[in-house]
Amino acid sequence: MKKFIDSCTEIQKEIHQTAKEKGWWDSDRSDGEIIALIHSELSEGLEYLRKDGFPKSDHIPHFLGIEEELADVIIRVLDFAEKRNLQVAKAIIAKMQFNKTRPYKHGGKLF
């Protein structure tokens, strides 16, 4: 688990540095705007899934479009986490451990 946390934290810093260099933090954005952008990446992923045959990515063609969009979600989450000094990698591990204690389908949720 420590390897995951260390690697993820290092990647988080690199992602945020790239975002700053590319101008995405020239002016501060609201947390709501950032969450909406994360959601937009999920919506783009959904659009790839709605196409027949799981098409290739337009930008990294050796991957599927859904793979690219899921990567974009993670990139945006980690960029946001670094900007706001959030410990997402540690929270993932903690949440995984908590989920192991939950009942089957969280006690009866349909989805």
Q: How confident is residue 52, by pLDDT bands cut at 50, 70 and 90?
A: confident
In a domain, 108, yes or no: no
CATH number, domain of 87, equals 1.10.287
Residue of 90 and 52 predicted with greater confidence: 90
pLDDT average, residue stretch 25-45: 96
Query: Domain residues for 71?
Result: 2-103
In a domain, 91, yes or no: yes
pLDDT average, residue stretch 66-90: 98
Contact 100, 54 (CB under 8 A): no
- What pLDDT, on a 0 to 100 scale, did the predictor assign at position 22? 98
Phi-psi region of 57 (alpha: psi -120 to 50; beta: other; left: phi over 0): beta
Q: How confident is residue 66, by pLDDT bands cut at 50, 70 and 90?
A: very high
In a domain, 27, yes or no: yes
